[in-house]
Amino acid sequence: MGKTVLAGMGLRKAAMPAALALGVLVWAAAGCVRSAETRFYQLDLTPSGAVAGGAGLEVGRLEVADDLARRDILVQKDATEIEYYADAQWAVSVPELVRRKLDAEFGRAAAGEPIVVLDGEIRAFQQVDVPGGAEARVTLHLRFRKGSQVVFQNLYSRQTPAESPSPKAVAQALSRALEAIAADIEADAAGLPAN
């Protein structure tokens, strides 16, 4: 008795091993091709000496807008376009980076010195592309609190040249910008009424 073969079944059986082999090759090739490894950055937490230290300043809660809420490093391409580095991120959140750097600059308060707590918003913390390179931009709106009372508030902003348009150079430039802002904050705190 003869076999009955449905039309197309022979083609499907023959195509199965070829499709399986192609799938294995694609899977093996995908394993060999690696995407760029993510690199992590932080600020230079070495005190610059721009602040005398023991200023009685403590950094409280810092908030950020959605574009800075990510750990990705923000690049402002022009007035209306932003992007993020695909292979570079901050090691911690932007508010934590800023808090750590300011804490390093201010040092510990002297014993018995009244504490002024700084809180507010981080409005800019990014690389800004400029003709021929990049700059780092930091803008902070800070409130100075003694207890629950706001005794002073100010907008601090610095734009510092980066050696190159790279995450490492921008991290260094952002560190320098925060050092200058820390000195401005200390000067403002020194002018506060003693009570």
CB 97 within 8 A of CB 90: yes
Which residues, 6 or more positions from 99, have their beta carbon under 8 angstroms from its beta carbon? 59, 62
Rounded Cα gap, residues 38 and 116, in angstroms: 38
**Which residues is 87 bridged to in the sheet?**
none
Cα→Cα distances 123→120, 142, 146, 189, Å: 9, 10, 23, 21
Mean pLDDT, to the nearest integer, of 124-130? Answer: 97
- What percent of the chain is predicted at pLDDT more than 90? 68
Mean pLDDT, to the nearest integer, of 29-45? Answer: 74
Determine the 3-state secondary structure of 57 from DSSP: strand
pLDDT at residue 195 tops 70: no
Domain coordinates of the chain in residue numbers?
39-190
Q: From the options 3.30.450.40, 3.30.70.270, 3.40.50.10610, 3.30.70.980, give the CATH code of 39-190.
A: 3.40.50.10610
Give the DSSP letter of residue 110.
P
Q: Where is average pLDDT lowest: 17-21, 65-69, 88-92?
A: 17-21
pLDDT at residue 95 tops 70: yes
Confidence of residue 108 (pLDDT cuts 50, 70, 90): confident
CB 106 within 8 A of CB 57: yes
Per-residue tokens: 142: 């800070």
Give residue for tokens 């021929």. 132
Phi, psi angle pair for 84, to nearest 5°: -130, 145
Beta strands per DSSP E along the chain: 39-41, 57-64, 72-76, 82-90, 116-130, 133-146, 149-161
Mean pLDDT, to the nearest integer, of 10-23? Answer: 54
Q: What is the pLDDT of residue 16?
A: 53
Phi, psi angle pair for 43, to nearest 5°: -85, 165
Q: Where is average pLDDT lowest: 5-9, 50-54, 80-84, 137-141?
A: 5-9
pLDDT at residue 17 tops 70: no
Q: Which residue has the higher pLDDT, 27 or 76?
A: 76
Give the tens place of pLDDT for each residue, 154-186: 999 999 999 999 999 999 999 999 999 999 999
Confidence of residue 192 (pLDDT cuts 50, 70, 90): confident
Q: What is the pLDDT of residue 114?
A: 73
Which residues, 6 or more positions from 82, have their beta carbon under 8 angstroms from its beta carbon? 67, 74, 75, 76, 126
